[in-house]
Amino acid sequence: MMQTCAINGWTLTSALGAGLATLGPALAARESGLRRNDFPGSGIDTWIGRVDGLDDGEALPERWRSRNNALAELGLAQDDFIGRVRDTRDRLGADRLGVIIGTSTSSIGRTEAAYRAMDNDRWPAEYLQPDVHQPHSPGLYVAHRLGITGPALTISTACASSAKVFASGWRWLQSGVVDAVVVGGVDSLCHSVLGGFSSLELTSTQPCRPFDTRRDGISLGEAAGFALLTRPQDAPASAPWLAGYGETSDAFHMSQPPENGAGAEAAMRAAIGRAGLDAAEIGYANLHGTASQANDIAESRALSRVFGEPVPVSSTKGWTGHTLGAAGIVEAVIALQALVTGLLPGTLNLSEPDPGLAFPILQDNLEASIGAALSNSFGFGGNNCSLVFRRRLSGAEA
């Protein structure tokens, strides 16, 4: 039985820019992609991680036109990801590839625009898009764009959505449903998100400050990221592995974690255990670290019980903002990049660590060669998902 799967390519587009070539330099230089809110039509006093040059999809066929699909298109176009998938599809067959995409907003921004354009209680013809005005929109679009005819799934479990895609992709490969699977996340800014989180008093008027004693809320962002999962024998020897995953549900509260972080702890323990590792073998953990009061304290308490001894752990939302349904793929890609480049990003905007934290948080960047990295993604509704990535083992060890 397959005990792991290979990451046969990945890419990320966020407020830091399009593709991996923009990500690494921004992390190394500690240059944030956050800006004061300039989303058209929004007067909310906050900071956002907006992707430059993104429109409402004017270049896409009318059937697919939306800001979310435009973001997906921009993300797919980076790091030769489309070419890598095409080569795999041509080798294995289009019906042997699957697609699993995480999102929270889907293309709801397009639906907002349709309502604004209503005339005599009718939507204009250009907004009659049944493949766009539904939660499965990004999964449908990515499968269409990549010419994949195998199963397609969209997961919407709040901010854990595009972490859970890795776990589902693993299971699809293990069960033989597919021979390769494109996983990822796409979430774009829209008024429902900006207004909704502002009404919950969860947004900060400053760039977010994860784990800082002065933190007062999140900075919303948008992003698109993707990875190609295959069986280890179908990937280059240099490809890292998805070695483990853990999924739990708090069953505690719609928008808050339990104060002790029990669900987060269980997810991390499950991921590390499935990877066959001891916690001490994790060289870096990219945290969910939203800069909300409740999440940061709960996550630190969970970390203290899982790890005991300090390891480098950080939140990178000061660079990208909280990209909601795309947070999982952002966190996973940064963890993968830490594994292959040795750059362990610190926590931007953390200058006064909260004395109530139960675990030390990395403030400044580090450079270190690590063998395994953990990625945490926790969402509303008590959705928790942790992933473990590691360098490929030798044949004897595998």
Residues belonging to the active site: 159, 288, 322
With a CB cutoff of 8 Å and minimum separation 6, the contacts of 64 are 57, 129, 131, 132, 141, 144
Contact at 8 Å (CB) between 359 and 241? no
Name the amino acid, one letter, at 289: G
Structure tokens at 106: 């889907």
Strand partners, 353: 212
Contact at 8 Å (CB) between 13 and 223? yes
What is the SS3 assignment for 220-264?
EECEEEEEEEECHHHCCCCCCEEEEEEEEECCCCCCCCCCCCHHH
Contact at 8 Å (CB) between 3 and 241? no
Report the phi/psi class of residue 121: left, alpha or beta, with left for phi > 0 and alpha for psi in -120 to 50: left
Strand partners, 5: 242
Distance CA 284, CA 144 (A): 36
Outline where DSSP puts E strands in the chain.
5-14, 17-18, 35-36, 47-49, 97-102, 152-155, 180-187, 220-221, 223-230, 241-249, 284-286, 313-314, 343-344, 366-367, 372-379, 383-390
Distance CA 194, CA 199 (A): 9
Distance CA 190, CA 50 (A): 11
